Amino acid sequence: MHEAMVAESLLAAISNEAEKQGGKPILAKVSCGTLNAINDDVLCFAFEAIATGTLCEGMTLEVIHRPMQGKCKSCGGQFGFDIFNPRCPDCSESDFELLPDAPLLLETIEFETG
């Protein structure tokens, strides 16, 4: 299961940062691209299961999906690619390239205060 491996990596990174910060993590935001094969529910379930008994137990994991980006070959504009309207929103040209999909990133970690 791909999500279980991702959850293990996230747990290790969040736990490491929690030790450095000396706090209990309560929320982590993860972002990934549209084509990244991450199922939010499965990832959150796997994370919750492996976080049991650790400093990360009970924290919330939020997954943000970043849209594919296109770059117009006519005007050079960069835009969120819409499969139902594959044109540059600035100049309406359909000659564009798809940019690389956003990677899976651990964006932020929030810690309990007090």
Amino acid found at 21: Q
Would you state the pLDDT for residue 113? 75
User: Helices 2-21 and 40-51 sit at what angle, rounded to 10 degrees?
Assistant: 50
Each of the 114 residues of the chain gets a pLDDT tens digit; together they read 589 999 999 999 999 999 999 999 999 999 999 888 789 999 999 999 999 999 999 999 999 999 999 999 999 999 999 989 999 999 999 999 999 999 999 999 999 976
The full set of domain ranges for the chain reads 2-67+101-111
How remote is the C-alpha of 62 from its chain's centroid?
A: 8
Write out the two tokens for 83. Answer: 């499969």
| CATH (residue range 2-67+101-111) | 3.30.2320.50
> What are the b/e assignments for 20-33, b being 16+ CB within 10 Å?
eeebebeebebbbb
